[in-house]
Amino acid sequence: MRLIRVDSGPSGVAVNPTGSRVYVANYTASTVSVIDTGADTVIRSPITFGFLPFGVAVTPDESRVYVTNTASNTVSVIDTSINAVVDSPIPVGLVPAGVAVNPAGSRVYVANRNSNTVSVIDTASNGVVGTIPVGASPVGVAVNRAGSHVYVANTFPESLQGESVSVIDTAADRVVATIPVGLGPYTVAVNPAGSHVYVTHRVSTTVSVIDTATNGVVATIPVGPGPYTAAVNPAGSHVYVTHYDPDPVYGYYKVSVIDTASNLVVASIPVGDAPIGVAVAPDARRVYVANSASSSVSVIDT
């Protein structure tokens, strides 16, 4: 495993579709680092942003990167040909966190934590074309490969429903299902087949598995304290989960590896301090982990 130094407080991390670049949102530094995956080095001076960037997503054609700015309630857009911010920041809801781009590259979905909404951005105009009410305190957001549904993790209890995942139908831009899950759901990840969604729970220290055909939880996987974010590999065979809290037995910060066939944790990988974001390379040979407290990115050889 290699360790790449970045700016302070890295949070979100995303790999472009060809696997040549990794984009890291550095929360406390209010910058974005660009990593060349061939050399595993930062290739550009950090790109300066709005206040406290958190989530990051790359368009399918790799031309743009969208970054949420939690303290300025905006989304910034990077032109990857020049590695610079272009256009004006896009106003969204309060405390935007998770961000995801649909497979067509035409829409960006932003979870607004303090507005209890998801903003829909049209990438042609870089303007908000829809605002969708969801559950309480949405953080994580993911789009299935068909682009037909968006899954949103609502961190706080929603009246008597408890913590939940909202399912948005993208054709109508409205919630069509609300799925009860474990305590403190934080992020969501959809497998490539679109058949299952994986939800991390920071409070119940588990990962829920949702069957998208029934919109019900079909498995609950114990993973240990502080599960934060999750990413599924391109084959759909493994899920990588970061843990913001250290393992109480071994004392190190880790990434858990879940085998999706058995829904069991099959490996525990030590990484840097307080890992948050995680992303898998398109060829599945590398996993990139943003370590918020050690200002680094761990590179895992799968």
Residue 235 has pLDDT above 80, yes or no: yes
Cβ within 8 Å of residue 88, ≥6 positions away: none
Assign 87 a pLDDT band (cuts: 50, 70, 90).
Answer: confident
Residue 165: predicted pLDDT? 97
pLDDT in tens, 256-283: 999 999 999 999 999 999 999 999 999 9
Q: What is the CB-side half-sphere exposure of residue 35 using CA atoms within 13 A?
A: 31
Mean pLDDT for the stretch of residues 148-173: 86
Prediction pTM value: 0.96
Q: Is 4 exposed, middle or buried (0-12, 13-18, 19+ CB in 10 A)?
A: buried
Q: What is the CB-side half-sphere exposure of residue 111 using CA atoms within 13 A?
A: 32
Lowest mean pLDDT among 47-61, 116-130, 178-192: 47-61
Assign 159 a pLDDT band (cuts: 50, 70, 90).
Answer: very low
pLDDT in tens, 10-68: 999 999 999 999 999 999 999 999 999 999 999 976 787 778 999 999 999 999 999 99
What is the rounded distance in angstroms from the CA atom of residue 33 to the CA atom of residue 22?
8
Residue 162: predicted pLDDT? 60
Mean pLDDT for the stretch of residues 96-105: 98
Residue 247: predicted pLDDT? 87
Residue 8: predicted pLDDT? 95
Percentage of the chain exceeding pLDDT 70: 97
Q: Domains (ranges, CATH) in the chain?
A: 1-133 (2.130.10.10), 223-302 (no CATH)
Residue 160: predicted pLDDT? 44
